[in-house]
Amino acid sequence: MDPVRLFFVGTAGSGKSTLTQAFKLWMDQQGYNAVTVNLDPGVEELGYTPDVDIRDWVSVPEIMAEKGLGPNGAQIACADIAAVKFPEISRVIEEFRADYILIDTPGQIELFAFRQASDVFLNAFPTQRNIIVFVLDPAVAKAPAGLVSLLMLASSIQFRFDAPMELVLGKSDLLAEDELERIVENCRNPESLMFSLGEAGSDGKMDMRSVSATEFLRAMDALGVRMVPRPVSSVEMQGIEDIYNAVQQIYFGGEDLSPD
């Protein structure tokens, strides 16, 4: 079977790496064949050992020393170098013959969102069974304006790449129940979001920001873009199966993978 590749994308600290690790653990427990790939050349500690690591080909410290660049410039240079080397990297990934490829992307989300290298990463494989899992940072999402900013970023990535996207709310165990409910309701109901944004204003009035935000959600709904995140917790292993089931619906019509 051609593998499905999940690209875990999100802002720094949103929980991409812990979710990658938790998804791999869950897949192992179910008897499914999955491998992990680290695409962040600058990460110092992942919390897990990836099966394929971009740092075996290029790393930020090496490029900083070699080219005299700062951390940001080195990240950009590494992304470009990785794109050149990715045909070789993709062949190594394919040699695992796994059903699922779990790809942990850089913490600097702009490297994935806007660099041409990302097109190379998504299109380097023989088939296009790719899914972008956009992880919302709960610390940012619980503020209405922060939530809208994350949703706009997620939608810009979805429009840039020809791949389905699943929105998840990372580290949901850190949120109080009412905070979690408010985030989901604000995503589901534009009127609720408008009220929350107006409530957050200094004068309590509905300003242009709240109107623009709600019109954005309505536009996404009209285009058929799902803007309601699935709460997940890597600590409590909650929501992992929901991501798996969503993938099955997208590529297998709801059919489950067989461990053999």
pLDDT attached to residue 205: 52
pLDDT attached to residue 156: 86
β-strand 230-231 against 165-169: which pairing, if any? Answer: parallel
pTM for the full predicted model: 0.88
Residues 115/79, Cβ–Cβ less than 8 Å: yes
Residues of the chain with pLDDT under 70: 1, 199-207, 209, 223-226, 254-260
Residue 210's DSSP bridge partners are none
Q: CB under 8 Å to 6, separation ≥6 — which residues? A: 23, 100, 101, 102, 103, 131, 133, 243, 247
pLDDT attached to residue 247: 92
Query: Which two three-digit tokens encode residue 253?
Result: 């019509």
Q: Which domains does the chain have, with CATH numbers?
A: 4-175+227-252 (3.40.50.300)
Q: How many CA atoms lie within 13 A of 236 on its CB side?
A: 11
Residues 35/102, Cβ–Cβ less than 8 Å: yes
Residue 130's DSSP bridge partners are 5
Cα separation values, 148 from 17, 143, 145, 161, 187, Å: 23, 9, 5, 20, 9
Residues 138/229, Cβ–Cβ less than 8 Å: no
Sign of CA dihedral 115, 121, 126, 129: negative
Query: Which two three-digit tokens encode residue 203?
Result: 């004068």
